[in-house]
């Protein structure tokens, strides 16, 4: 168990969920952007709060643990941790400082980074007694607070690193997938798309022919990643169910996707529920060319935006003492 009152530093990466066709089941972590967090534990008195959250950014997110995604994840963590300890063991509390460098509502796993970073940090402080699957399970409580749904397609890659497949939620089963070197370009148009709103517009029924096509794309994408087959990855980055509905919320989406593929991108689509859009490329040079197309399109329509050229993060949340 890490020493009482000793702070640790945590880096929690942004993530891209869905990977176009893999709604709620596929995701990957990226090297930039990432959240910075600090954390420590101390002994808790009987009636003392179990979790203290301190924001050191300008987003003014709730500090009440029950209303903060990191707090919700830590509540679940502490409940199970205390069950594991002998009744004579001292009760503990966590203090968390959060510097959000991943803008909330950007579609690149901001809530997942806070939730995952908090439970990975807590687990480290108490001696790594929980598995990564356990940590995903705890952190999903933060996602439920943020979106109303316990989805793991951002949480899993944030904790495991790399590309992950969520085969099942109940019971939880996460599969880490091998992948070739892939460069990632992300554009975040400065509009807001709430995850709950983006889910509410989805169709509740789909045609069988669309479902079959989607299943083929998901299987093809997983096979392409495992075989390092870039062409198969590119052909499989197609969504016939979710993207046609959600893309109407993002200005210039169809034109941007076409321009990026002409610039050499393998393909891409909406990151999570948006508004960010991601593209995968074989080389950094292509990824930079894709960024140029993204900037040109959004400059042309006068929509403020941020871009990132990065790569897949293979480590997930990192502890920096």
Residue 92 lies in a domain: yes
Q: Please check the confidence at residue 255 and state whether its pLDDT lies above 70.
A: yes
What pLDDT, on the 0 to 100 scale, is given for residue 260?
98
**DSSP character at residue 2:** P
The question of whether 243 is a catalytic residue gets the answer no
**Is the domain of 254 the same as that of 145?**
no
Closest listed residue to residue 120, CA positions, set 266, 321, 317, 280 = 317
Q: Residue 306: pLDDT band by 50, 70, 90 thresholds?
A: very high
Structural domains of the chain, count: 2
45 and 111 co-located in one domain? yes
Could you tell me the pLDDT band of residue 175, with boundaries at 50, 70 and 90? very high
> Can you give the CATH number for the domain in which 86 is found?
3.30.230.10
Could you read off the pLDDT of 3-25 as tens digits, one per residue?
888 999 999 999 999 999 999 99
Determine which one of 15, 164, 185, 195 is catalytic: 195
Q: Kindly state whether residues 219 and 160 are assigned to the same domain.
A: no
- Indicate the SS3 state at residue 55: strand
Residue-level pLDDT at 199: 76
- Tell me phi and psi for residue 314, to 5 degrees: -95, -5
Asked if residue 88 has pLDDT above 70, the reply is no
Judgement on whether residues 193 and 250 belong to the same structural domain of the protein: yes
Residue 3, domain member (yes or no): no
Residue 69 lies in a domain: yes
Residue 296, Ramachandran bin (φ over 0: left; ψ between -120 and 50: alpha; else beta): alpha
Is-contact 50 69, C-beta < 8 A? Answer: no
In a domain, 61, yes or no: yes
Parent domain of 153: 8-177+314-320
Mean pLDDT of the chain, nearest integer: 94
Catalytic residue among 36, 143, 243, 291: 143
54, pLDDT greater than 90: yes
pLDDT at position 200? 79
Q: Is residue 218 part of a domain?
A: yes
Q: Which residue has the tokens 């910075």?
A: 36
* CA–CA–CA angle 251, 254, 259 (5° rounding): 110
Residues 142 and 196 in one domain: no
Query: Do 89 and 198 fall into the same domain?
Result: no
For the chain, the 3-state helix, strand and coil shares in percent, each to the nearest 5, are 40, 25, 35
DSSP 108: S
- Which of 119-133, 138-152, 251-265 is least confident? 138-152
13 domain residue, yes or no: yes
pLDDT beyond 70 at 87: no
- 294 and 187 Cβ atoms separated by less than 8 Å: yes
Confirm whether 2 is domain-assigned: no
Other beta carbons less than 10 A from residue 193's beta carbon: 19
Q: CATH number for the domain including 194? A: 3.30.70.890
What pLDDT does residue 148 have?
86
User: Would you list the DSSP string of 83-105?
Assistant: HHS-TTSPPEEEEEEEE--S-TT
Is residue 143 part of the annotated active site? The answer reads: yes
């Amino acid at each position: 168990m890490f020493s009482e009152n000793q702070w640790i530093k945590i880096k929690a990466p942004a993530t891209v969920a869905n990977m176009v066709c893999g709604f709620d089941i596929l995701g990957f972590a990226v090297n930039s952007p990432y959240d910075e967090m600090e954390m420590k534990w101390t002994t808790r008195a009987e009636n003392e709060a179990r979790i203290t959250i301190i924001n050191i950014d300008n987003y003014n997110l709730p500090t009440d643990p029950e209303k903060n995604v990191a707090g919700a994840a830590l509540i679940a963590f502490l409940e199970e941790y205390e069950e594991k300890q002998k009744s004579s063991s001292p009760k503990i509390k966590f203090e968390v400082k959060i510097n959000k460098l991943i803008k909330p509502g950007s579609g690149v796993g901001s809530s997942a980074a806070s939730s995952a970073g908090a439970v990975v940090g807590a687990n480290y402080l108490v001696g790594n007694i929980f598995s990564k699957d356990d940590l995903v399970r705890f952190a999903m409580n933060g996602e439920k607070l943020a979106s109303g749904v316990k989805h793991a397609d951002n949480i899993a890659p944030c904790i495991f690193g790399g590309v992950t497949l969520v085969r099942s939620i109940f019971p939880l089963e996460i599969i880490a997938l091998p992948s070739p070197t892939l460069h990632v370009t992300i554009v975040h148009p400065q509009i807001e798309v709430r995850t709950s709103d983006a889910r509410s517009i989805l169709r509740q029924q789909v045609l069988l022919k669309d479902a079959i096509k989607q299943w083929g794309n998901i299987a093809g994408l997983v096979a392409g990643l495992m075989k390092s087959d870039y062409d198969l990855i590119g052909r499989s980055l197609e969504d016939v169910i979710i993207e046609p509905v959600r893309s109407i919320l993002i200005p210039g989406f169809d034109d941007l996707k076409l321009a990026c593929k002409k610039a050499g991108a393998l393909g891409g689509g909406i990151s999570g529920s948006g508004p960010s859009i991601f593209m995968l490329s074989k080389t950094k040079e292509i990824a930079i060319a894709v960024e140029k197309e993204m900037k040109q399109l959004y400059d042309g329509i006068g929509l403020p935006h941020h871009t990132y050229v990065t790569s897949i993060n293979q480590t997930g949340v990192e502890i920096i003492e």
